Amino acid sequence: MVNDNTNATKVQELHAPPKPIVVYGTIFVLLFLPLVLSTPLATEILIWAIFGMGFNLLLGYTGVLSFGHAAYFGLGAYSSGLAFRYLDASLPVGIAAGVLAPMLLACFIGALAIRKRGVYFAMISLAFAQMLYFMALSPLKHITRGEDGLTHIPTMAIFSFSLGKPLPLYYFVLVVTAIMLFATWRILQSPFGKLLQAFRENEERAKACGYNTTMVKFWSLVISAFYAGLAGSLNTVYLGYVPLTTLFWLTSGTMVMMTILGGKGTFLGPLVGVGVFLFLQNTISLITPRWELFVGAMFVAIILLFPGGIMGTLEEKLMAYRMKRASK
């Protein structure tokens, strides 16, 4: 009996939250990312990774597909940008604006549509995102500057420490990324995080256990909007302007692709997916302007090789190996 238990402990749940060493190890590795990649690319990867972590919480862990996550990312980017440009907001205030506005939007969209299942919810979120896109494009042109994007955003500083240079900016974003990685890890092991996973596994049963599954989905969406808004806000600080494309449906689509590429429902999946995607995009676009064609082909190839996404398939293989050993 005792022996059985020790054997059994080697078997892990599929897509279980990782050990602490994985979280700290990842942060440690990210410290040296600018040595391998160009600093702006590394910064971009971190920003999108934050976006991805939140998106993964919703798609990978709760099992809800939002096809309009650009709404939260873009609204975060614009809210910060507008606060920086027109109100001379400090960095923390601007970021707070960039986080709060998308969360409120998520409350609104969630209250309206979270009961809808699968593709209906995906379409409703897409519709809202496109609505925001066209609002920014034309009716609100006098403040958002429409197609040109919101420019003339001052360089930010934290504790009178300028973030104008690439390297300080990278490490600032890294600190935020580290906090969010840690937070994600905590959330996944909390009662709420466990509930998200149970929910994805079997919504009906979670309901029969007494859980109000609509509320679970709702809060998952709001938390996810927090991440997206934070990422959008950092993107504004990083670029020094807000491109209109942050609200475009292609941004949502790219996010879905990155998450699936990395492995939805895995802890490091978004980071890996974002890293691979942006690296390919940056490298190939140096050679040819038709980079989408090649990235697309590689996406197909990777998904054929790793049906569960890169990290997803690796985890499955690892688990199969462990179970084989444990049952020996």
Using CB under 8 A, list all residues that contact other proteins.
1, 4-5, 8-15, 186-187, 189-195, 197-198, 201-202, 204-213, 215-216, 219, 223, 319, 323
> How buried is residue 282: exposed, middle or buried, by Cβ count under 10 Å (0-12/13-18/19+)?
middle
Tell me whether residue 57 or residue 295 sits nearer to other proteins (CB atom).
57
Tell me whether residue 129 or residue 225 sits nearer to other proteins (CB atom).
225
Smallest gap from Cβ 298 to other proteins, in A, equals 28
Tell me whether residue 120 or residue 192 sits nearer to other proteins (CB atom).
192
CB crowding 5-18: b at 16 or more within 10 Å, else e = eeeeeeeeeebebb
Helix (H) or strand (E) run with residue 180 in it: helix 166-189
Q: CA dihedral defined by 110, 76, 129, 216, rounded to 10 degrees?
A: -20
Smallest gap from Cβ 116 to other proteins, in A, equals 17
Tell me whether residue 10 or residue 290 sits nearer to other proteins (CB atom).
10
Smallest gap from Cβ 195 to other proteins, in A, equals 6
User: How far apart (Å, rounded) are the C-alpha atoms in residues 165 and 68?
Assistant: 32
> How buried is residue 53: exposed, middle or buried, by Cβ count under 10 Å (0-12/13-18/19+)?
buried
Smallest gap from Cβ 188 to other proteins, in A, equals 9
Smallest gap from Cβ 56 to other proteins, in A, equals 15
Q: Which two tokens stand for residue 19?
A: 């050990």
User: How far apart (Å, rounded) are the C-alpha atoms in residues 233 and 253?
Assistant: 19
Smallest gap from Cβ 97 to other proteins, in A, equals 23
Tell me whether residue 148 or residue 201 sits nearer to other proteins (CB atom).
201
Tell me whether residue 212 or residue 288 sits nearer to other proteins (CB atom).
212
User: How far apart (Å, rounded) are the C-alpha atoms in residues 218 and 195?
Assistant: 13
User: How far apart (Å, rounded) are the C-alpha atoms in residues 266 and 16?
Assistant: 8
Tell me whether residue 2 or residue 35 sits nearer to other proteins (CB atom).
2
User: How far apart (Å, rounded) are the C-alpha atoms in residues 286 and 118?
Assistant: 38
Radius of gyration of the chain (CA): 20
